[in-house]
Structure 1
Amino acid sequence: MKLPLRLGIAALAITTLVGCSADTGSSDGATSGADGSFPVSIDHTFGTTTVDSSPQRLVTMGWNAQDVLYALGLSPVGQPRYSYGATPAGIMPWTEKYFDPTETTLYEDPAAGEPSIEAIAALAPDAILAPYEGFDEAYYDKLSALAPTVAYPGDAWQTTWQDQTTLVGQAVGKPEEARGLVDGLGRTLSDTAAAHPEFAGKTLAVVNLDTASGEANVYLPTDPRVQVLTELGFVDAPGVEALAEDNPAGNFFKSISLENLRDIDADVVVGFVSGNAGPASDPAFAQLSAFGRGSAVVLSDEQVISGLSSVSVLSVPWVLDKIVPQLAEAARRAG
C-alpha cells in the first residue's frame, strides 16, 4: 500500500504531513442502488464491487470512511488506530463523541504500513470501505477475498470529500443521507467563503516545509486539502498548476528542492512544519514572499494539520473553526 507522510510531516505517502477524480461534484462510481436498495454495484480503480445486502460488519481503511459512517449514524466494527494528530485513544479528535470502543476495534496504525490481512480478517467484515486509500491491486485482491471491498476511484489519495461521502453512502444503503451530508458541508464552505470575500482570487500554495529532507512537498490541485481551500475562494498559484501539469505518475504532491521554493510563490502560503520550524529556521523560506508580508499560515499543531489533511464531513467543520481566522488575516495582508 502506498502511504502518503500520513497526515504528518513527511507527505500524509510520505497521510502523516507529508490522499478519484479532481471534480468537486458527487461520484458517478455507483452504478446501481442509487435509491438505497441492494444489491449495489460500485465502480473503482480496480473494477466493480457489488454489495449484495445491507452490510452489518463494516471495516474502514485509510482515512475518512469511518467519519462518513459516524455522520450517517453508523459505527464500523474496525477502523485504523491513528498516531499522528490523534488523541491518546488513537482516534481523531473530531470523532471523539462518536467512537465507542465496545463497538469498534482499532487495528494497527496505517502509518506503519499495510495493515495485515490477518488483522482485517479477524474483524470478520462483510464489507470493507476504502474510498480514500492508496493500496495496489494485489492487496485489493486479498481484501476482496475477505469481503466486498469498495476501493478508491481514480488515483490514490485523491478522492474528493464529496466522492468519499457518496461512495460510503451507496455502500451502506444511505445514498440520500449521504447527499444531505455533501449538501450540508457544501453550504458551510460557501457560507464561509461569502463571509470572507478577501479569500476570493487570492493565489494559494499548500506545502509541507520539512526542511530536514532538503525538500518541500507541494500539494497539487487534485489533493483534497487543497480543494477544500479553493472551495473557500482561493485559487491555485501558477507555480502549483505548473507542477500539476508535469505529473505523469498522477501523484497528489510533488517534491521540490528548498532552493526552488520561489517557483511556487503565492499570495497566501499554508505551510505545515514540525516543531519550531518556521521562517526564522531556514533562510530558504525567505523565497516565499508570503513570509515577508505576513501572509503565510504556518501550522505546527498535529491535530490541526490532520484536520486539514484528512478532509471529511466531520473534520472540515472542526478545522475551519481553528484556521479561518488565520486564513483571513493572511488574505488581508496579501492585499
Structure 2
Amino acid sequence: MRSLFRLGIAALAATTLVGCASDTASSDSAADGGGAYPVSIDNSFGTTTLEARPDRLVTMGWNAQDVLYALGLTPVGQPKYVYGANPNGVMPWAEKYFDADKTTLFDDPQAGEPSIEALAALAPDAILAPYEGFDKAYYDKLSRLAPTVAYPGKAWQTTWQDQTSIIGEAVGKPDEAEGLIDGLGKTLADTASQHPKFAGKTLAVVNFDTGAGEANVYLPTDPRVQVLTELGFVNAPGVEKLAADNKSGKFYQDISLENVRDIDADVIVAFTDGATDPLGNPAIASLGAVQRGSAVLLSDQQVIAGLSNVNVLSIPWVLDKIVPQLAEAAKRAG
C-alpha cells in the first residue's frame, strides 16, 4: 500500500480542457464572498499576491478541491487519487461535485509531483496547495505558471481550519469559508457532546500497514489526530513524548513494533491493510487497548482516506462511518 500521508496518483486523465479565464477576473472585489483584491497570503516560501479573483483554479495535494466544491466553485484541474478513491480517481464524498467535462485529473507518478507541463496545459490563474509538502524549487516552478498559494508552515501540517480560510481568502470568499469552519466546528462539538465518554480518553493514531516491522505514529500536529481530539480525546503521554522528541519536523514518527507499548492509550485508532491481521503480532496483541477491545482497526481504504483527508466535506462523511466504533471503544476503555 502506498504511504497513507500521500494518496496515490494514477495516469494522467485525457480530459479535454474547457473554458478560459473570465473577464470578471479583473474585478477588484468579490462582493459575493466578502473578499477584495489584491490579496496577499503568506506561505512557507514567502508571500503570494493575487491581483484579481482567479477563475481557472488548479488544486494540489489533498483537500483544496473539496473546499472549493464546498464554496460552490469548480477547479479546472485536480489530482487523480488512487488510495480510497472511486474508479474514476475521485474521493467518494466529492463524487457528486465532480464534473469530468469541467475538471481535468492529473498526475505524474514518476516524478512524485504533477509535471509542470501537465499543469501548464491547464492555464491556471492560481494554484492552490495549502496542504502539501513540495520544496521551494518546485514551488518556484509552480509560481512561474501562476500565483501559488502554498502551505503556510510545515509540510502536511496545515489545520483544516487554516486550509479553509486560506482558500476562502484566495478565491474571494472569506466569509463563506468562515461559515464552513463554523459549520464543521459545530458538527464536531455536537458529536463530542453526544458522546461524553470521548472526553479525556487518551488516544493514539497509528498506521500498522507499513510492512517494515514498525508503525507510523501520527503526532499532534497531524490533522487526522487533531480532528479526533476535537471530539474530546487527548493525546496519549507516549504520543506527546514522541512529539517532544521529534527533530525531523514531520507529522509522524516511526517506531519499532517492539516499542509499540510506549504509545498505548485508552483508545487506539489503527490503519491496517485488511489482508494481514495485525493482532497476529505479539507486541500489538499485548497492547492494553487491544486486550480491552478499545482498539479501532480500520481497513476500509475509503474510511482511512476520509480520516486522512481532513476537510469540510470529508469529515461529516467519515464521522458517520467511525463514530459508532469510537463510541464502543470509549465505552470499553472505561
**Same fold, judged at TM 0.5 (above):** yes
Tell me the residue number matched to 1:173.
Answer: 172
Aligned residues: 312
Q: Distance in 2 between matches of 1:134 and 1:110?
A: 15
Check the 8 A contact 2:34/2:174 in 1, yes or no: yes
In structure 1, list runs of 5 or more residues that go unmatched. 1-7, 17-31
Contact 2:216–2:255, Cα closer than 8 Å, also in 1:
yes
Could you tell me the TM-score, scaled by structure 2's length? 0.90
Letter matched to residue 10 of structure 1: S
Other-structure match for 1:10:
3
Cα deviation digits, residues 299-331 of structure 1 (max 9, x gap): 000000000000000000000000000000000
Listed as ranges, the matches of 1:31-180 within 5 Å are 35-108=34-107, 113-180=112-179
Q: Is 1:217 the counterpart of 2:216 in the alignment? A: yes
Report the TM-score, using the length of structure 1 for normalisation: 0.90
Q: Which residue of 2 aligns with 1:3?
A: none
Shift of 1:282: 1.7
**Hey, what does 1:283 align to over in structure 2?**
282
Residue 263 of structure 1 aligns to a residue whose secondary structure is: helix
> What's 2:305 paired with?
306
Residue in 2 aligned with 1:260? 259
RMSD of aligned C-alpha atoms? 1.7
Secondary structure of 1:213's counterpart equals coil
Cα separation, 1, equivalents of 2:256 and 2:163: 32
Corresponding residue number in structure 2 for 1:316: 315
Residue type of the partner of 1:271? A
Structure 1 distance, partners of 2:148, 2:278, is: 44
Q: Secondary structure at the match of 1:76?
A: coil
Q: What residue number does 2:207 align with?
A: 208
Distance 1:111 1:202, change over 3 A: farther
CA distance in 1, matches of 2:256, 2:200: 27
Tell me what 1:248 maps to: 247
Where 2:318 maps in the other structure, the secondary structure is helix
> What letter matches 2:5 in structure 1?
L
Provide the C-alpha distance between the structure 1 equivalents of 2:50 and 2:160, rounded to a whole number of angstroms.
22
* AA of the residue aligned to 1:91: V
Q: Are the counterparts in 2 of residues 11 and 217 from structure 1 also a CA contact under 8 Å?
A: no
- CA gap of 1:172–1:84, structure 2 versus 1, over 3 A, is same
How many Å separate the matches in 2 of 1:50 and 1:195?
A: 43
Q: Is the 8 A contact 2:206 2:268 kept in 1?
A: yes
Q: Give yes or no for contact 1:202–1:331 (8 Å, CA) kept in 2.
A: yes
The answer to which of 233-242 and 208-217 deviates more is 208-217
Report how far residue 247 of structure 1 moved.
Answer: 1.1
Measured in 2, the distance between the counterparts of 1:78 and 1:211 equals 31
Report deviation, 1:9: 5.4
Which residue type is aligned with residue 97 of structure 1? K
Measure, in 2, the Cα distance between the counterparts of 1:231 and 1:111: 37
Residue 212 of structure 1: how far off its partner (Å): 1.8
Identity of matched residues, %: 73
Offset, 1:286: 1.9
Distance 1:280 1:214, change over 3 A: same
Query: Which is greater in Rg?
Result: 2
Q: Assess if the C-alpha contact under 8 Å between 1:9 and 1:208 holds in 2.
A: no
Question: Which amino acid is 2:329 matched to?
Answer: A
Contact 1:9 1:210 in 2 (8 A): no
Taking the aligned partners of 1:312 and 1:279, their CA distance within structure 2 comes to: 29
Gaps of 5+ in 2: 9-28
